[in-house]
Amino acid sequence: MARESTAIVELRHALGQRLAAFRKAAELTQSDVARQTAYHRSTIAHIETGRARADERFWQAADDLTSADGALVAAYRHLEAKTHEHEIRARRAALTQACRQAETAPVPVRRASDAGLVYSASLAATVDAVADLGRHDMERRRFLSGALFTVAASIAPSRDWLLATLDEAGQTARKIGSNQVDAIRRTFGVFQELDVMRGGGHARHQLAGYFTSHLVPLLRSNDPSTGNGRALYESAAEQLYLLGWMAFDNGEHSLAQRYLIQSLRLAQECGRPELGAHVLAGMSDQATLTGSPDQGAQLAKAGRAGLARGHSPACLADLYALEARAEAAMGNAEATARNVSHSEKAFANVNHDEEPAWARFIDVAYLNGEYAHAFRDLQRPREASEFAGRSIADAKRQGRARRGSLAHAAQARAALDAHDLQATASAAITAATLGATVQSSRSLDAVNDLRIRLRKHRKSPAVREFMEVSSVLMPSLAPVGV
């Protein structure tokens, strides 16, 4: 959270003073207010001096209790609005500062392997970039074989998207009126289902072929300022995100990054801040997974700042969950728990009928799996096991092998941290069994991580069984010398 300005501090103090005035006029003590609002008396004292915060439920109760006739609630809402405006300005300034050094550095000569890393102001150049990416991916060319993923390449695009989004008037996307766009959306749904159920390596090349042959010509011949054109560009941004996510899940991070950057650009063009925030969630996940959790946290925060212009409780829950993952990777337990709590509260407000199609799988199985991995990284086995269990149950209900594999791997780590080898091996075997049915490098890496951690316990019969079973089910696993 941004440091509060003097004006915000003064508003908070003034609100507390109004509470004190109304309380005294009603002949109530701080203890009276505390009893009626379930707060401690000392907290009421801090609220009245502006040193403590309270949510709207408190102010509503205090307003009723002191007969303030809505004055306290109105003052609280005014404070919240000003605080929100201040935080957006602060985040914009922070992002601009973070990217200033990169912007002023000499521009290197671009190579073929730089394709897709540019967040271009030109829409035509963006369409050309995605056409090249899709064509190379479809034809399985190795033009990125020597390219490495670099998290720095994601920062400037995230800044450009956020500044553009915050500067827009917040236009509402028009309804889709074209059967052709409807068909494109249905195709997205089919490939999204394939990714979730069978892994990112299963059908990406087919999706790249569809995108290149069907969507690129339409992007070149349609204006995103029209109703159907805007819907087309939104659909294209969704498919580019899915291509990036599939590459990410298959361990092809340099390609994934390029798809995500171009998806972010089209999300800006179609004026859907929710979709842009969703793309930044993917970038955050990738940054944390590849060893840059500090940047992962910043990308998640940028997504939340941009989401202020839109509405998707599911996306907000995801961004908080991924910020929790990043904080956990940095060992920040308090920030992790706080973000998990925010994520759970955001998810409680989700109405799936009002969420976009891409948010369909931001659900109990996914979010609890992310929470489990966060607490796993903090070596807090009780919470990790609890959240993993919820994820496992919902993934099993839906038949989602990849999510089930990842959740069982988190459960195995929790059991290992609790020194229960039998439970560790049992969960690890299930993780390997499910992981073997999907094409996902994340599942493979999770099982391989368990094998490495269990090497020193190879005398255990249960551990030996896991090693043998996983070697048979996943032949590409690295040998661990058991």
- 478-482 contacts, C-beta under 8 A, 24 or more apart: 478/448, 478/451, 478/452, 480/451, 480/452, 480/455, 481/455, 482/455, 482/458
pTM comes to: 0.68
pLDDT at 223: 79
pLDDT band, very low/low/confident/very high, at 133 (cuts 50, 70, 90):
low
Question: Average of pLDDT values for 176-191?
Answer: 75
pLDDT at 109: 42
Question: Average of pLDDT values for 322-333?
Answer: 96
pLDDT band, very low/low/confident/very high, at 309 (cuts 50, 70, 90):
confident
| Domain spanning 6-103, CATH architecture | Orthogonal Bundle (1.10)
More confident residue, 126 or 294: 294
pLDDT band, very low/low/confident/very high, at 188 (cuts 50, 70, 90):
confident
pLDDT at 324: 97
Domain limits, the chain: 6-103, 115-308, 375-473
pLDDT greater than 60 at residue 2: no
pLDDT at 194: 81
Question: Average of pLDDT values for 54-69?
Answer: 89
pLDDT, tens digit, for every residue of 203-241? 788 888 888 888 888 888 787 888 888 888 899 999 999
pLDDT greater than 90 at residue 79: no
Question: Average of pLDDT values for 157-170?
Answer: 47
pLDDT, tens digit, for every residue of 374-421? 999 999 999 999 999 999 999 999 999 999 999 999 999 999 999 999
pLDDT band, very low/low/confident/very high, at 351 (cuts 50, 70, 90):
very high
